Amino acid sequence: MAQMPYIAAVDAGIHQEMRRDPNVLYFGQNLATTENHEFVAAYGHDRVRVTPISETAEIGIAIGAAMAGFRPVVELYMAEFMLVAMDQVVNEAPRFRYMSGGQVKVPLVLKAGYGFTAGWAGQHTGSLTALFMGVPGLKVVVPSTAADAKGLMASAIRDDNPVVFLHHYMLTLSTAKFRTVSIWCRLARPMCGEPEATSRSLPRAGWFRAHWPRRSSSLKRGSTRK
């Protein structure tokens, strides 16, 4: 597991539970768009589906599926996207089990990234962990290593309560993408702030500073380095 990339470990946790339990579903706005999609090829369109561009709809569908006995995982990509469906996230998913005296279970995982610090605008950069932690009945998971990511994803899917699974965006990138994003962030100062301030805001900032390429005098604005 130490050699497995972070985002691959998250996917491995989902694969593990989908193989183990046929009631685990996986859907989102950018999933199952082709027959070659990894999860579609493995489990078919009955369990892996693309959804409308509506967080209210896809989270509402997931809550209904969970109450019917399924264990849906919703790929939301960015934590802020849940803010447009807060009635479903706050008032519905975490409360039905308690309002029914335990007769209804809502085993639901809302998977989303946070900390998009590469100049992705104000509505894509928040860390909303504390916001969701204040909701009774809603569990929050924020793994920091690949091993944690796989194990906590599997545990979240097996839980009978709704879980918000938040993963840091920068930890999901490959080394090549790290390099491209870091250079772009250094150049786009009006959006990202000073390079040192940006790197300090990221997890394991010392590691990033040690591994990011140095900006050379030949690097022009808007260019990238391989």
pLDDT category at 121 given cuts 50, 70, 90 is low
Task: Catalytic residue, from 15, 37, 45, 124: name it.
Answer: 124
Query: Please, what is the average pLDDT of the chain?
Result: 76
Residue showing tokens 């989902």: 14
Q: Which has the closest alpha carbon to 95: 82, 81, 105, 80?
A: 105
* pLDDT for 144: 87
> Of 32-36, 109-113, 127-131, where does the model show the most confidence?
109-113
Torsion, Cα 171 176 179 184, to 10 degrees, reads -100
Here the tokens at position 147 are 């091993």
What's the rounded mean pLDDT across residues 78-93?
Answer: 91
Residue 115: other Cβ atoms inside 10 A:
21
Backbone φ and ψ of 29, nearest 5°: -75, -25
- Whether 124 is catalytic: yes
Report the pLDDT value the prediction gives residue 114, as an integer from 0 to 100. Answer: 83
Q: For the whole prediction, is pTM greater than 0.75? A: no
More confident residue, 203 or 164: 164
Beta strands in the chain (DSSP E): 24-28, 48-50, 71-78, 109-114, 139-141, 163-168
Average pLDDT over residues 95-118: 87
Residue 84, sorted as left (phi over 0), alpha (psi -120 to 50) or beta, turns out to be alpha
With a cut of 50, say whether residue 141 has pLDDT above it.
Answer: yes
In the numeric block, which tokens belong to residue 203? 């997890």
